[in-house]
């Protein structure tokens, strides 16, 4: 608590004035001019500052405050409860970016964001909810990187001379001097990576100052629990990739087959990291059932907002009907709806739903298992997925040089596959039409094109991965794929709809009545599948409630 030297009332940091302001007499004081009590000065000289740690009795989350007032709301689980407080000595961060965006501006930024979400639940737009925004200083690691050395890369040129290819190898040497500062990653496992990435960047080079507890007056802070090593490689990747790109742009290395990957390996550098507190406006909202929670955050320096916004199914259904009715009317004006075409339309929609749901289920699985959150993985808060861990270990094989010739062959092979497979599918369509006595120009052609595109995309991707492996191109981590047992309970509807259409195509009943029934059942299955897709989307935009077990709450409990 900072006491006003004029009247003895509390002073709070004002983002607009960038000063401490008395809540009673409006006296202003520069935080740098504030003199802490002697006991606090002694702690600061030893690299610590005094704070109160408030612990939520519901989820175990911990936040810090320099105030002595009672905390009555948990930002992590949304519980309105008196938090338990205890005094503690906290390690001083190296720097802090003071809040530059006030609460009203943060609320306005969030309102603009949620206004664009037409299907957002009304609860997220209510004033009573938006008023729950709380200013929290989130811990970050700020990385710096510099290089001032000569690098060496191997270059190759190939020139055709008659029936021969003349290959020349060069050793290219060049000095490079560059430095990067202010590459930052959050240092709290409780702050989801997708949210911290969404409100990035912060600008420590422009607005960071030496840390002083006075800047925390009127706000809370989260204590970091991640070491700087967690994101060090990511920071290096950002800096070195930028340096390599600039070198490529300034000098013509392409004729020597020198690519960015080779340059990045050749650059030697020194790196360092500093601890910091960055300003974030933080809000949590529970769903109606009270079993999941969504978060909204606003960058307290720039005002950039991000939010996890679920979909209200009733609003979505109403919007879909408003669009579907005029579209149906227009289609009937230009196209004659036949039973076979309706069945074909249901098949196309079922395949589309299958592709969307399959990809979405992979994302949901990654989110629920926290495989898309490096901070939680580093903090050991991720359930074990042995299959994914084995694939991740395999994917971390060191990269080899990217071979331009192999990549050219890759593209040529993929294009060739598209052409060859088109001829194959057209031939198969002719055979099927001949056996079933169907006009190729009818709906069979449309279904053939759909099957062709789907199959060719899968095949060319497999071929591309094979070439990438030969060229030494490896992803940092494998794509997360949900288990078949996890997907099957959601994807059987789309498969059933396609199966019904295929059955009608084979049986070819003479009575249109059977086609109408089959198409109707297929459409009902598709509507059911799209309902599942919305439910999955809401899983992506909400999170399990944190449970009492660890600092920041253990979301796996």
Answer for the pair 172, 258: CB distance below 8 angstroms, yes or no: yes
Report the mean per-residue pLDDT for the chain.
79
Q: How far is CA 11 from CA 14, 20, 26, 32, in A?
A: 9, 6, 9, 14
What average pLDDT does range 5-29 have in this prediction? 89
Average pLDDT (157-180) is 80
Whether pLDDT at 103 is above 90: yes
How far lies 483's CA from each of 209, 363, 366, 486, 487, in Å?
48, 12, 11, 5, 6
316 vs 21, residue with greater confidence: 21
The pLDDT value given to residue 498: 85
Q: What is the pLDDT of residue 388?
A: 47
Spatial neighbors of 164 by CB under 8 A, at least 6 apart, are none
Q: From the CA atom positions of the chain, what is the Rg in Å?
A: 30
111: closest CA among 291, 120, 220? 120
Distance CA 125, CA 107 (A): 10
Q: Which of 161-165, 198-202, 208-212, 214-218 has the lowest mean pLDDT?
A: 161-165
Measured distance CA(364)–CA(311) in Å, rounded = 15
Check residue 555 and give its pLDDT: 42
Q: What is the DSSP string of 237-253?
A: HHHHHHHHHHHHHHS--
DSSP 441: I
Stretch 73-92: mean pLDDT, rounded?
80
Contact of 303 with 105, CB cutoff 8 Å: yes
Report which of residues 502 and 197 the model is more confident about.
197
DSSP H or E run through 381: none
264-280 confidence digits (pLDDT tens) = 778 788 888 999 999 99
Reported as a single tens digit per residue, the pLDDT across 400-451 is: 444 556 667 777 887 888 788 777 777 776 666 666 555 555 545 555 665 6
Assess whether pLDDT exceeds 90 at residue 184. yes
Q: Is residue 482 within 8 Å of 365, Cβ to Cβ?
A: yes
Residues whose CB falls within 8 Å of the CB of residue 274, separated by 6 or more in sequence, listed in order = 93, 94, 95, 141, 142, 144
Helices (H) and strands (E) in the chain, counts: 15, 15
| Per-residue pLDDT at 393 | 47
pLDDT at residue 342 in the model:
77
478 vs 23, residue with greater confidence: 23
Q: Give the percent of the chain with pLDDT over 70.
A: 81
pTM value surpassing 0.85: no
**Rounded-to-10 torsion of CA 445, 447, 450, 452:** -60
Q: In the chain, pLDDT over 90 holds for what percent of residues?
A: 17
In this prediction, residues 105-117 reach a mean pLDDT of 92
Helix (H, G, I), strand (E, B) or coil at 212: coil
Helices (H), 189-338: 193-198, 204-207, 232-250, 260-266, 313-334
- State the Cα–Cα distance between residues 204 and 95, nearest whole angstrom: 9
Distance CA 331, CA 445 (A): 19
Task: Pick the more confident residue, 111 or 394.
Answer: 111
**Contacts of 78 by beta carbon, 8 Å cutoff, 6+ apart:** 132, 284, 285, 286, 293
Cα dihedral 187/188/191/195 (nearest 10): 10
């Amino acid at each position: 608590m900072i006491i006003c030297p004029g009247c003895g009332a509390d002073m709070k940091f004002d983002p607009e004035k960038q000063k401490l302001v008395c809540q009673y007499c409006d006296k202003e004081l520069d935080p740098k001019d504030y003199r802490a009590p002697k006991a606090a000065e002694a702690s600061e000289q030893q690299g610590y500052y005094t704070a109160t740690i408030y612990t939520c009795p519901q989820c175990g989350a911990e936040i810090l405050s320099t105030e002595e007032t009672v905390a009555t709301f948990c930002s992590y689980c949304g519980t309105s409860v008196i938090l338990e407080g205890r005094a503690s000595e906290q390690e001083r961060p190296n720097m802090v970016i003071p809040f530059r965006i006030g609460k009203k501006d943060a609320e306005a930024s969030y309102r603009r964001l949620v206004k664009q979400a037409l299907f957002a639940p009304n609860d997220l737009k209510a004033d009573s909810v938006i008023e729950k925004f709380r200013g929290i200083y989130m811990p970050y690691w700020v990385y710096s990187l510099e290089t001032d050395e000569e690098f060496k890369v191997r270059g190759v040129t190939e020139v055709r001379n008659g029936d021969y290819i003349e290959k020349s190898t060069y050793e290219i040497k060049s000095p490079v001097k560059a430095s990067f500062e202010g590459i930052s990653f959050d240092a709290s496992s409780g702050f989801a990576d997708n949210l911290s990435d969404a409100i990035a960047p912060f600008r420590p080079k422009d607005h960071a100052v030496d840390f002083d507890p006075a800047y925390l007056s009127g706000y809370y802070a989260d204590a970091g629990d991640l070491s700087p090593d967690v994101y060090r490689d990511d920071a290096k990747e950002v800096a070195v990739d930028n340096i390599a790109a600039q070198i490529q742009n300034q000098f013509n290395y392409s004729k020597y087959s020198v690519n960015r990957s080779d340059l990045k390996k050749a650059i030697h550098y020194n790196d360092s990291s500093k601890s910091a507190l960055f300003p974030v406006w933080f809000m949590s909202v529970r769903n109606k059932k009270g079993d999941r929670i969504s978060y909204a955050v606003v960058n307290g320096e720039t005002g950039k907002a991000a939010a996890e916004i679920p979909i209200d199914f009733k609003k979505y259904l109403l919007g879909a009907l408003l669009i579907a009715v005029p579209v149906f009317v227009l289609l009937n004006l230009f196209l004659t709806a036949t039973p076979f075409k309706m069945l074909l339309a249901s098949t196309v929609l079922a395949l589309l739903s299958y592709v969307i749901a399959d990809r979405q289920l992979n994302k949901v699985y990654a989110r629920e298992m926290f495989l898309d959150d490096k901070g939680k993985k580093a903090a050991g808060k991720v359930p074990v997925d042995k299959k994914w861990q084995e694939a991740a270990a395999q994917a971390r094989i060191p990269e080899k040089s990217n071979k331009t010739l192999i990549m050219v062959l890759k593209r040529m092979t993929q294009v060739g596959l598209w052409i060859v497979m088109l001829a194959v599918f057209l031939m198969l369509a002719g055979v099927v039409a001949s056996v079933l006595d169907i006009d190729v120009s009818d709906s069979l052609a449309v279904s053939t094109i759909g099957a062709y595109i789907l199959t060719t995309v899968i095949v060319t991707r497999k071929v591309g991965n094979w070439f990438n492996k030969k060229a030494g191109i490896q992803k940092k981590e494998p794509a997360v794929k949900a288990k078949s047992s996890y997907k099957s309970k959601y994807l059987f509807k789309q498969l059933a709809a396609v199966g019904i259409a295929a059955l009608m195509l084979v049986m070819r009943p003479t009575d249109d009545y059977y086609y109408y029934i089959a198409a109707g059942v297929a459409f009902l299955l598709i509507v059911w599948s799209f309902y599942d897709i919305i439910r999955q989307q809401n899983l992506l935009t909400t999170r399990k409630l944190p449970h009492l077990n660890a600092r920041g709450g253990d979301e796996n409990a």
